């Protein structure tokens, strides 16, 4: 079985993928000593995920890429009250270098006074995987929820502390195992695992 290279520098994503693909040889760009910044120019999650895997294959065209499958995801938070912001710009929202703790605080301030029923939101994850000289395979997962009234929990990463699966529990309060069963990324990874085993 080929190794899977994760086209990401996000250590939170790396941890989740490795947990899910425990039977696979997962390596990161850092493991392969690849320092390459991919510009996300797509307007949808799918476009950005595909851009990432196609860009890394193009970047590595002079190297031996046949030993790898390349996997990337593009994911984000859509808040209905904020016209589905931050959406595909989730990682760059309010400034690429702004800590998520600060981003979450600002979002909660913007949502101040909004009723629970109007705080609907969802996480979206699109995963693309590609083998050299093949077309990308894409899967998608979503989880519906709400923006809470406060940030809670120390598990997870990013916007997890303000995303609630019910009125009491944020995504950041779940264990990795619990989160993988219901999360947007867990659903997309589960679908991708089936595709890898049946199509690649």
The secondary element (H helix, E strand) that includes residue 57 is helix 45-59
Range of the domain at 176: 3-199
Q: What is the pLDDT of residue 162?
A: 99
Tally the domains of the chain: 1
Helix, strand, coil abundance in the chain, percent, nearest 5: 35, 25, 40
**Structure token digits, residue 64:** 């031996």
Q: Report the DSSP pairing between strands 3-6 and 68-79.
A: parallel
- Other Cβ atoms less than 10 A from the Cβ of 115: the count is 7
- pLDDT tops 70 at residue 65: no
- pLDDT tops 70 at residue 154: yes
Tens-place pLDDT, residues 24-57:
899 998 888 888 889 889 999 999 999 999 999 8
The CATH number of whichever domain residue 153 belongs to comes to 3.90.950.10
Q: What is the pLDDT of residue 64?
A: 67
Q: What is the pLDDT of residue 62?
A: 63
Q: Is 80 designated active site?
A: no
- pLDDT tops 80 at residue 69: yes
Among residues 41, 188, 193, the alpha carbon closest in space to that of 123 is found at 188
Q: Which of 35, 74, 80, 160 is catalytic?
A: 74
Distance between CA atoms of 161 and 53, rounded to whole angstroms? 29
Distance between CA atoms of 54 and 133, rounded to whole angstroms? 10
Tens-place pLDDT, residues 98-144:
999 999 999 999 999 999 999 999 999 999 999 878 899 999 999 99
- pLDDT tops 90 at residue 168: yes
Name the residue with tokens 């993988």.
180
Distance between CA atoms of 12 and 22, rounded to whole angstroms? 16
Q: What is the pLDDT of residue 119?
A: 99
Can you point out the beta strands (E) in the chain?
3-6, 26-28, 68-79, 85-86, 120-130, 137-147, 163-164
């Amino acid at each position: 079985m080929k190794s899977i290279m994760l086209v990401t520098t996000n250590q939170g994503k790396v941890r989740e993928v490795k947990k899910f693909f425990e039977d696979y040889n997962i390596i990161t760009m850092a493991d392969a000593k690849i320092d390459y910044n991919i510009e996300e120019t797509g307007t949808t999650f799918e476009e950005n995920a595909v851009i990432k895997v196609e860009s890394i294959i193009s970047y590595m065209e002079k190297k031996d890429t046949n030993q790898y499958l390349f996997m990337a995801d593009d994911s984000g938070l859509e808040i209905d009250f904020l016209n589905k912001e931050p959406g595909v710009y989730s990682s760059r929202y309010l400034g690429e270098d702004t800590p998520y703790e600060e981003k979450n605080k600002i979002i909660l301030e913007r949502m101040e006074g909004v009723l629970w029923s109007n705080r609907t939101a969802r996480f979206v994850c699109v995963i693309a995987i590609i083998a050299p000289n093949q077309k990308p395979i894409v899967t998608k997962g979503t989880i519906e929820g709400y923006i809470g009234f406060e940030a809670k929990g120390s598990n997870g990463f990013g916007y997890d502390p303000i995303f609630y699966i019910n009125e009491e529990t944020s995504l950041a309060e779940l264990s990795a195992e619990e989160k993988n069963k219901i999360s947007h990324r867990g659903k997309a990874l589960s679908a991708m695992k089936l595709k890898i085993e049946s199509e690649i």
